[in-house]
Structure 1
Amino acid sequence: MYSSSDMKAISFTMVFNFVFTEGEFKGSTVSMYGRNPIMAPKGREMPIIGGTGAFRFARGYAQAKTFKIDGINAVVEYNVFIWH
């Protein structure tokens, strides 16, 4: 889920849930919430605010970098660092 959060630049407030569907963490989720100025040249950082299952009470951050935007579609890389 996202909502516009800036009057001068393309920026969103993002609410993300990463869901693990395979492996050791299957069924667990990680929750991310924060401001995302999608065209920032060096990428951006958003906080990990919790999760479920193995990631209950998790903390950390995600670094996002946009590679391509095509209309409403985008290719974004997320590097996520989690303490749980």
Structure 2
Amino acid sequence: MIDDPLTEGLELSSKLVGKTQGMYAWAAQEEFGLSMVMNFAFVEGKYNGSTITIIRRNKVFPNVREVPMVRSSRLLRFARGYVQASTHKHDLAAGDAELEYNIYVLHY
């Protein structure tokens, strides 16, 4: 289960714009891959209360992974788009990682 801060920048001291909430599970026996369901729940500015949901199988180590956006709500209702995920740091022993998500959204 995840419930992590969603910030404008990579530093935790960056402006908080929402929460990244969801879950993931190991999804491969012979490679490092996850099955993920994740919600970007925005808490700042005009997108406060809006969400974007992504679902995918995530190979963790490629530099950039493309993730389809499958659902959105409130101000982003009927939006479509995708997310590019990048891993900047990870510590498997601690179960900790620093990720960057670039979200590309088209909506009315």
Q: Same fold by TM-score, threshold 0.5 exceeded?
A: yes
Match of 1:60 among 81, 101, 108: 81
Structure with higher RCO (Cα < 8 A, 6+ apart): 1
- Name structure 1 gaps, 5 residues minimum: none
How many residues end up aligned between the 2 structures?
83
Match of 1:38 among 32, 36, 60: 60
Structure 1 residue 83, shift from structure 2 partner: 1.4
Please provide the CA RMSD for this pair: 1.0
Matches within 5 A, 1:68-83: 68-70=89-91, 71-83=94-106
Q: Does the 8 Å CA contact 1:49/1:58 hold for their aligned counterparts?
A: no
Q: In the alignment, which residue of structure 2 is the partner of 1:49?
A: 70
Partners of 1:57 and 1:6 in 2: CA distance: 32
**Large movers: runs of 4+ above 6 Å:** none
Partners of 1:59 and 1:6 in 2: CA distance: 28
- 2:34 aligned with 1:9: no
Q: Secondary structure at the match of 2:68?
A: strand
Partners of 2:57 and 2:79 in 1: CA distance: 19
- Name structure 2 gaps, 5 residues minimum: 1-22
Identity, in percent, stands at 40
Q: TM-score scaled to structure 2, two decimals?
A: 0.72
